[in-house]
Structure 1
Amino acid sequence: MAKTRSAWIDPEIAESLRGFPDFDFSLDKLPAMRAGSIFEPQSAPDIERVELTTEPDGVALSVLRPVESANEPPVLYWMHGGGMVIGNRHMDDARMIEWCRSLGCVCISVEYRLAPEASYPAPLDDCEAGLRFIVEHADDLRIDSRRIGIGGRSAGGALAAGLALRCRDGANVPLAFQYLEYPMLDDRGLTPSSQLEGLPVWTRESNTFGWRSYLGDRYGTDDVPADAAPARVSELSCLPSTFIGVGTADCLRDESIDFAARLCRAAVPTELHVYAGAVHGFDMFADTAVARTAARDSADWLARQFGQRTIG
C-alpha cells in the first residue's frame, strides 16, 4: 500500500508543521508575503557588520566578519532564498553569524532585485556585480580573493549555480566552491518530485509561480539560458567543488539529485546529502534531529573547503 503524503515527512518536522502558515505564492498575495518577510539585520558582539553599496551598480552588500579574524580570511558569498519573489539579504543572518564564528570566515550577502518586477537576468546580474565588487576590493575588505565560495538556498541556490556557470564561461572570476541548499534548478517541471501534490512550505504551484516570475516571457519556451535554469546546461565540467543538500519531501528533490549525478559524471568534486523526511526549508525547524544533522554536514563541508579540520 502506498504511503500517504504525510507519512513521507519526518515525525519531528511534521509536529513542527502544526499551525505553520501555509505559504501559497501567487501574484495577489505577494504584497502581504513581502511585508511579512522583511528581515532586520542581526548582530552579535563577536561579529562585525559593514554595509556596502557597489558602484556604479548600486547593489547592497552586508559583510559579516569575526571581530578577531585571521588575516585575509576565506569568504562565503551568499544569495538568499524566497522563491525569487520575496526576502532580503538579512534573512539568513543567524546562519551567517554562526558560520563566521565557527569557521572563521567572512560571510557577504547580496541584495538582489526581486521578480516579477525584475525578471531574469536582473537578479543574477546583481549577484554577479556584488561578486565582482568583492573580488576587485579584496584588499580593502581584507579577504583572501583566492578562497571565495558562493552559496544559497532555494532561489538563492539557483542564483549561485547560475553565477558559477557565468564565472566558468567567461566572467573570469575563480570560485573556490558552490554550496547549494535545496536549489531551484529546473523550470520545466519534468521530474516526478516536481509533480508531487500537497507538500508543505513549497508546493509545485508555488514553484511554478517562482519560475514564471523569474523567467518572465521566457517561461515555457526554449529560450531559457542555462544560467537562468542551471539544469538546462549541457556541460558541467570545470565547475568548482559542489555541495548539494535536499530533503525527500521536497518538490526540488529529483532535480537536485540529478544535478549532483551529472556533476559527478563531469568529474566535479560533488557531495550530495538527501535527508529522509525533510521538507523544503527544513532548516527552519532547527530543533529537529534531521536539521541538526544537516547543519553539521554543511559546517563540516565548508570547513574542508576553507582548509580547516571538520567541525566536531
Structure 2
Amino acid sequence: MNGMDPELEAFVPFFPKADLTDVEKERQFLAELAAGIPAEDVEFEDLVVPGDPDVPIRIYRPHEAHGTVVWMHGGGWCIGDVVTEHPWASRVAARSQATVISVGYRLSPENPFPAALDDSWTVLRWAHENCDDPDLLAVAGHSAGGGLAAALALKSRDEQGPPIRFQLLHQPGLDDRLTTWSARHFTETPWYNRAKAGQAWAHYLGGQPATAYAAPARAEDLSDLPPAYIATAEFCPNRDEDIAYAVRLMQSDVQVELHQWPGTFHGSQALLSADVSQRQFMEIGDVLRRALT
C-alpha cells in the first residue's frame, strides 16, 4: 500500500483477513495474540464493580499515580476483555503515570447497545466515587473503546454525571453510517476495513436505530464537552469521521488536539517494534499526564 510505514508494512502479510463473521473465532485469536505480547511492569488488581450486572475491571496503579483514566478496550464492541487488553492498558498506565481502570464491558452481538455503554457508565460513576481526586478523571479508549469514551462524555454532560476532565479518543468508532471518503474507499486495509466496520456496527446495534450515545457523530450538539485528544490512522475507515468530529468539537468551542499518524493503519500500534508505534504510546501517555496535572 503506497505510503505505509515500511516497518508496519512488513507485518501486513501475517495479518488475518479482516472479518467479524465468526465472533468466537476472533475472540480466540485475540486471546492468543495478546498472550504473546509483553506488558509493562505496573501493579494491578482485578475487581468487580457492583451494578446490574456487575462489571469486571482491572486497575493499574503506577507508583505515585496522579489522576484516574477510565479505559475502554477496542475490538468492534465484539471482542476483547481486561485480560486481552492487559498489554495496552498497562502501557497507558506506565506512560501516563495515572491510575488506569480497564473496563470489561459486555460484548455484542450477545449484548447489543446499550450494554457496553451502560457497563462503562457504571464504572465511570464508581471511579468518580472511589478515586483519589474526582476532579482529575478522564475517559479514554481505542477504536470501539474510543467511541464509548466519546459517548460517556456526551452522557455525562447531558445527565449531569461525573465531571470528566478530558477525553482521549484513539481511532474511535463514531459513525455507523460509513459515508465518509475513508469509510467508502478503505476496503482492503489491514486488520480493519469497510466490511469489518459494517459487521461491527451491525453486531453492536443489533438492528436498533443508532442514537448519539451509540454513534457520537450523530450528536447534534457538541458544546460543553471536555477537552479532547483525537488520534487517527492514515489507512483506517474511521479516519475521516474522526477528523470531522474533531473539527465539530473545535467549532463548538471545545479544545481539541488532533494527530493524524501518517503511514499507519487501524490498530497498527500493536506492532510494538515499529518506531511509530512507540511514539504513539509515548504521546498517549504524555497527553494524559498533561491533562491530569
TM interval, shorter chain, is: over 0.9
1:297 partnered with 2:283: yes
Letter in structure 1 aligned against 2:182: S
**Stretch of structure 1 that moved more, 196-205 or 284-293:** 284-293
Task: Report matched runs for 1:5-154 at 5 Å.
Answer: 6-26=1-21, 29-38=22-31, 47-57=42-52, 58-66=54-62, 68-69=63-64, 73-138=66-131, 143-154=132-143
1:157–1:181 Cα contact (<8 Å) kept: yes
Equivalent of 1:276, from 258, 262, 271? 262
Q: CA deviation at 1:11?
A: 2.0
Distance 1:240 1:124 in 2: 18
Distance 2:292 2:196 in 1: 35
| Displaced runs of 4 or more, over 4 A | 39-45
Distance 2:87 2:235 in 1: 25
Task: Report matched runs for 1:232-251 at 5 Å.
Answer: 232-251=218-237
Q: CA deviation at 1:176?
A: 1.0
Residues 35 and 98 (structure 1 numbering): CA distance in 2 closer, same or farther, change over 3 Å? closer
Distance 1:154 1:297 in 2: 17
Which structure has the bigger radius of gyration? 1
Q: CA deviation at 1:101?
A: 3.0
Distance 1:35 1:266 in 2: 42
Letter in structure 1 aligned against 2:194: R
Question: Deviation per CA, 1:84-140, whole angstroms, max 9, x where unpaired?
Answer: 1111123332333233334321110111111111111111000001111121223xx
Gaps of 5+ in 2: none
Distance 2:160 2:120 in 1: 12
CA-based RMSD? 1.8
Distance 1:278 1:42 in 2: 21
Letter in structure 1 aligned against 2:17: D
Letter in structure 2 aligned against 1:99: V
1:36 aligned counterpart, secondary structure: helix
Question: What fraction of aligned residue pairs are identical, expressed as a percent?
Answer: 34
2:92–2:284 Cα contact (<8 Å) kept: no
TM-score by length of 2: 0.93
Distance 2:176 2:138 in 1: 25
2:137–2:292 Cα contact (<8 Å) kept: no
Letter in structure 2 aligned against 1:37: L
Letter in structure 2 aligned against 1:211: W
1:213 partnered with 2:203: yes
2:162 aligned counterpart, secondary structure: coil
Distance 1:203 1:56 in 2: 35
1:7 aligned counterpart, secondary structure: coil
Distance 2:220 2:25 in 1: 39
Letter in structure 1 aligned against 2:7: E
Give the aligned partner of residue 163 of structure 1: 152
Residues 102 and 157 (structure 1 numbering): CA distance in 2 closer, same or farther, change over 3 Å? closer
Letter in structure 2 aligned against 1:241: P
How many residues are aligned here?
288
Distance 1:198 1:206 in 2: 10
Distance 1:272 1:43 in 2: 27
Equivalent of 2:192, from 202, 205, 220? 202
1:88–1:111 Cα contact (<8 Å) kept: yes
Residues 149 and 155 (structure 1 numbering): CA distance in 2 closer, same or farther, change over 3 Å? same
Q: CA deviation at 1:203?
A: 1.2
Gaps of 5+ in 1: 1-5, 308-312
